[in-house]
């Protein structure tokens, strides 16, 4: 429950910092219990998805050929309208979309496909907005054998309205906002990847119980604007990022402890600024708390230079935690000499091995390498 609450607040929080999530009390991080007989509230109209200027918007659909002859579709492209553009006060249509200065507002992808008789194909088209506003994708157009022009309008049904008896009786539906895109001003684009010893992570990543893994975190700004206010949160793993600022405006406050989990679930990098095409790497020391197969999920939130617009990038990978050796120790005073102490070590093997003889030899070599 606590992990779900942390990820929910991290995704929906509008605060400039996520550090309040790591210091919140256990009661504040608990999800409210549903009342008996209560139903989950559903919004009739969801907000349109948010895209940035220069980011491609993809639409995927299926094209079928019911004829007994081959069909060639030329110049297959999306069409729609743009509203609220800063460079044009009125609504304009695309692909013939130019503002008052004659500059194209939306770049449209065009494809040619050939369909054999009674065949179908999945087509993926895209539009790239070059100005902020609201883009409404209405349908797709094509030219059949370069002579006959046709178009198809997307008619996606919305959610059934349950707000009144009249809406229920007429089975009224809310408008579908799937093909409506809210285009925000341009932002940096964050690329995140994890590697181990210079190699990509295997699927799944295997580790032992209590083992501390050291992974390389690579972040890169692939956009055309500066990136700042990078923050990461992970509630499914204990981790610590080596060599980053601990928080606040003090540049000298650098994390030097390698205690996994000491920094909590949230880590901020307030002094990190990535210019376009700039990248940086960090060492991440992490360990799992439970056994078995798991899904590790990191959330990276970043903002533009003035911290006015933020975005979240999720990174997921699978791990499998196996049982291994656990070592415990105790220090007792000596009964013979008051100035001496006795160090007692206890090694327990939790994993069922096949070759017992090899395990005994490995355990013997392990005890021979103790350094006091």
Beta bridge partners of 218: 193, 281
Within a domain: residue 158? no
Could you tell me if 210 and 277 lie in one domain?
Answer: yes
- Residues 210 and 292: their CA atoms lie apart, in Å, by 13
pLDDT at 10: 62
pTM of the model: 0.63
Within a domain: residue 313? yes
Within a domain: residue 346? yes
Could you tell me if 191 and 306 lie in one domain?
Answer: yes
Could you tell me if 148 and 244 lie in one domain?
Answer: no
- Residues 219 and 231: their CA atoms lie apart, in Å, by 12
Tally of CA atoms within 13 A in the half-sphere of 342 that contains its CB: 8
Within a domain: residue 24? no
Could you tell me if 128 and 68 lie in one domain?
Answer: yes
Within a domain: residue 181? no
Q: Which of 282, 181, 278 is nearest to 225 (CA)?
A: 278
Q: CB of 106 within 8 A of CB of 81?
A: no
Q: Which of 133, 153, 173 is the last residue of a domain?
A: 153
Judge residue 111's burial from the number of C-beta atoms within 10 Å of its C-beta, 0-12 exposed, 13-18 middle, 19 or more buried. Answer: middle
Could you tell me if 305 and 194 lie in one domain?
Answer: yes
Beta-carbon contacts of residue 246 (< 8 Å; ≥ 6 apart) = 253, 254, 255, 263
Read off the tokens for 291. Answer: 């056994």
Distances in whole angstroms, Cα of residue 355 to Cα of each of 321, 328, 359, 362: 21, 24, 7, 11
DSSP state of 355: -
pLDDT at 20: 59
Exposure b/e, 295-334, CB count within 10 A at least 16 = b: ebbbbbbbbbeeeeebbeeeeebebebeeebeeeeeeeee
pLDDT at 249: 42
Could you tell me if 139 and 85 lie in one domain?
Answer: yes
Could you tell me if 318 and 355 lie in one domain?
Answer: no
Could you tell me if 309 and 339 lie in one domain?
Answer: no
Q: Which of 193, 181, 78, 57 is nearest to 139 (CA)?
A: 78
String of DSSP letters for 190-243: EEEEEEETTEEPPSSEEEETT--EEEEEEEEE-SSS-EEEEEEE-SSSEEEEET
Could you tell me if 128 and 208 lie in one domain?
Answer: no
Within a domain: residue 295? yes
- Supply angle C-alpha 97, 102, 106, rounded to 5: 30
Within a domain: residue 101? yes
Report the CATH number that the domain containing residue 122 is assigned in CATH: 2.60.40
pLDDT at 256: 47
Could you tell me if 194 and 134 lie in one domain?
Answer: no
Could you tell me if 350 and 307 lie in one domain?
Answer: no
pLDDT at 372: 52
pLDDT at 122: 94
H helix and E strand count, the chain = 4, 22
Within a domain: residue 45? no
What is the separation of C-alpha 360 from the centre of its chain, rounded to a whole number of angstroms? 44
Report the CATH number that the domain containing residue 223 is assigned in CATH: 2.60.40.10
- Spell out, as residue ranges, where the chain has pLDDT lower than 70: 1-45, 85-91, 96-103, 146, 244-259, 261-264, 349-372
Q: What is the distance between the terminal CA atoms of the chain, rounded to a whole angstrom?
A: 43
DSSP state of 108: E
In this structure, the strands spanning 199-200 and 238-242 are unpaired
Helices (H), 60-200: 165-170
Q: Which of 110, 131, 153 is the last residue of a domain?
A: 153
- Residues 284 and 286: their CA atoms lie apart, in Å, by 6
Q: How many CB atoms lie within 10 A of CB 154?
A: 15
Could you tell me if 205 and 302 lie in one domain?
Answer: yes
Q: How many CB atoms lie within 10 A of CB 142?
A: 22
User: Domain range for residue 193?
Assistant: 187-322
pLDDT at 123: 93
How many domains does one find in the chain? Answer: 3
């Amino acid at each position: 429950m606590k992990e779900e609450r942390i990820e929910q607040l991290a995704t929906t929080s509008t605060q400039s910092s996520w550090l309040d999530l790591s210091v919140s009390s256990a009661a504040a991080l608990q999800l409210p219990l549903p009342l008996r007989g209560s139903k989950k509230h559903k919004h009739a109209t969801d907000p349109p998805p948010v895209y940035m200027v220069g980011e491609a918007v993809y639409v995927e659909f299926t094209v079928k050929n019911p004829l007994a002859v081959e069909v060639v579709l030329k110049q297959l492209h999306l069409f729609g309208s743009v509203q609220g553009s800063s460079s044009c006060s009125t609504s304009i249509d695309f692909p013939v979309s130019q503002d008052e200065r004659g500059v194209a507002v939306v770049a449209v992808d065009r494809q040619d496909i050939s369909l054999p008789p009674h065949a179908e194909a999945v087509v993926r088209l895209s539009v790239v907005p070059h100005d902020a506003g609201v883009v409404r994708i209405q349908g797709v157009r094509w030219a059949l054998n370069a002579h006959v022009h046709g178009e198809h309008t997307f008619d996606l049904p919305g959610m059934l309205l349950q707000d009144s008896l009249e809406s229920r009786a007429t089975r009224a539906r809310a408008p579908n906002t799937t093909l409506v895109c809210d285009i925000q001003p341009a932002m940096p684009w964050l690329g995140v990847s994890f590697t181990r010893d210079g190699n990509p992570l295997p699927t799944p990543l295997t580790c032992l119980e209590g083992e501390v893994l050291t992974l390389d975190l690579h972040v890169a700004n692939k956009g055309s604007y500066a990136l700042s206010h990078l923050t990461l949160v992970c509630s499914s793993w204990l981790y610590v990022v080596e060599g980053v600022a601990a928080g606040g405006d003090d540049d000298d406050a650098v994390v030097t402890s390698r205690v996994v989990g000491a920094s909590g679930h949230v880590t901020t990098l307030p002094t990190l600024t990535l210019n376009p095409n700039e990248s940086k790497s960090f060492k991440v020391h992490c360990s799992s708390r439970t056994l078995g197969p798991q899904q590790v999920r990191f959330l990276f939130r970043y903002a533009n230079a003035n911290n006015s617009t933020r975005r979240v990038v999720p990174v997921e990978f699978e791990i499998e935690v196996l049982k291994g050796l656990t070592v415990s120790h105790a220090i007792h005073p000596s009964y013979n000499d008051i100035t001496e102490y006795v160090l007692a070590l206890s090694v327990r093997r939790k994993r069922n091995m096949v070759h017992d003889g090899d395990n005994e030899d490995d355990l013997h070599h392990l005890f021979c390498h103790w350094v006091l």
